[in-house]
Structure 1
Amino acid sequence: MKTLASFLSVTALLALECPCASEAVPLYRDYNPTIIDHFYTISLAESQNAVTNLQYNAEGVSMLVFSTQVPGSVRFYRLYSAAATDHFYTTNPTEAAHASGYVIEDMSMYIYPTQMCGTVPIYRLYYSARTDHFYTLSTAERDSAATGTYTYEGIAGYAFESTVKNIPYCK
């Protein structure tokens, strides 16, 4: 009986704190092999523009993030360096403010700084020779890139997999 009461308490707590994955929006991933740049956006129109007019290849929905802040989430800043032709993403406001040569672009994206609510890690990698930041939920992609030209920099935050429909006990 104690176990059931504990389970129900945890379930009630999760229901109060966990937004549903259905509240998240697609984060599109595009890649330009000519300038070596990964580009992520929650705007389908912006993604289509990158593909149509800027020679990016559409790579589909990489993950689900929030377009507005939900409890426990933090902003996932999008920065751009025209000199390096690189998009860079971080949850750290100090890192965003002091990224030399980068400007913060106005794109509202939010992710979790710690794992919760059915999320998975967003792996951050960097290719210093060509100045490219790469983000993936896939351990296979992470490992493949890290054995090639990219350096694994750690976990950028946590998001939902693009295939998740919902998580148990969300509000």
Structure 2
Amino acid sequence: MENFIHRLLSTLLLICISVTCRAATLNNSSDQRRAADTCADPTLADVWVEAYNPSLTAHIIRSPWVFVASIAMGLDWQFQGPVFRAWENPQEFTVPLYEFNKPDNTDILFLPSTDGNPPTVAGYENSGITGYVYATQVCGSVPLLVAANAATTDHWYTTNVLHHSSIVASGWTDEGVAAFVLPLTSGKLFLLVLLNQSHS
């Protein structure tokens, strides 16, 4: 019963994050002043969240609905919080963000296509396009930073420079910038993350 309640609360939390951030995006005046001829429409961007699967020792970033579906199927993804905003569908001025998995699913990478062709990574399988991001830092975007743990073959993604520096200082390897994404825009996200942590 406790597991069911935890899954239900996680699902509700993911739905709240998506709705809260979409509303914040629509009301963000700096996003509204975009240059229509150089930037993708930020009001169409959605929040992306990160989750961790302890049985795979892998982190993944996705739109919240993917995790709602995964939780309903009984998959062991543990919600870690919102990370950035990006687009699920192609937008002008964006590039595809591809997901790559090791054949045994013990590591997941995210890489953009900068030339219109899917990138290739030795030892990984292309799982397809997971979203759309900027290839360079434009239109108020921020770097999506990557850190890797060779011992567990895990990659972790964040837009928070302090968090990235801290995990690298703890022994993870700095793997630079994966792509450029829109920052989170709502202060309510912190409260939602605290609520989720209090129920885990």
Specify the alignment match of 1:48 in structure 2.
Answer: 68
Gaps of at least 5 residues in structure 2 are 1-32, 187-200
Alpha-carbon separation, structure 2, partners of 1:62 and 1:105:
21
Offset, 1:82: 3.4
What whole-Å deviation, never above 9, does each CA across 1:57-92 have from its counterpart, x for those lacking one?
112321111112222211110111132511110114
Larger RCO: 1 or 2 (CA < 8 Å, sep 6+): 1
Q: Does 1:19 align with 2:40?
A: yes
Specify the alignment match of 2:180 in structure 1.
Answer: 158
Alpha-carbon separation, structure 1, partners of 2:34 and 2:61:
32
Offset, 1:34: 4.2
Aligned residue for 1:22, secondary structure, equals: helix
The answer to whether the Cα contact below 8 Å between 1:79 and 1:96 also exists between their aligned partners in 2 is no
Alpha-carbon separation, structure 2, partners of 1:56 and 1:78:
16
Distance 1:92 1:150, change over 3 A: farther
Specify the alignment match of 2:50 in structure 1.
Answer: 29
Q: Give the superposed CA RMSD.
A: 2.6
Moved more, 27-36 or 61-70: 27-36
Offset, 1:115: 0.8
Among 125, 137, 150, the alignment partner of 1:115 is 137
Specify the alignment match of 1:57 in structure 2.
Answer: 78
Alpha-carbon separation, structure 1, partners of 2:105 and 2:76:
16
TM-score (norm 1): 0.77
Alpha-carbon separation, structure 2, partners of 1:160 and 1:119:
5
1:60-79 equivalence runs, <5 A: 60-79=81-100
The number of residue pairs the alignment matches comes to 153
In terms of Rg, which structure is larger?
Answer: 1
Alpha-carbon separation, structure 2, partners of 1:115 and 1:149:
27
The answer to whether the Cα contact below 8 Å between 1:73 and 1:113 also exists between their aligned partners in 2 is yes
Specify the alignment match of 2:150 in structure 1.
Answer: 128
Alpha-carbon separation, structure 2, partners of 1:86 and 1:93:
22
What whole-Å deviation, never above 9, does each CA across 1:94-137 have from its counterpart, x for those lacking one?
99653233221134411111111111111111111111111110
Distance 1:58 1:13, change over 3 A: closer
Moved more, 48-57 or 32-41: 48-57
The one-letter code of the counterpart of 2:147 is: L
**Structure number having the greater helix percentage:** 2
Alpha-carbon separation, structure 1, partners of 2:69 and 2:129:
15
The one-letter code of the counterpart of 1:114 is: T
What whole-Å deviation, never above 9, does each CA across 1:130-151 have from its counterpart, x for those lacking one?
1111111001110111011311
Gaps of at least 5 residues in structure 1 are 1-11, 165-171
TM-score (norm 2): 0.67
Specify the alignment match of 2:126 in structure 1.
Answer: 104
Specify the alignment match of 1:144 in structure 2.
Answer: 166
Aligned residue for 2:37, secondary structure, equals: helix
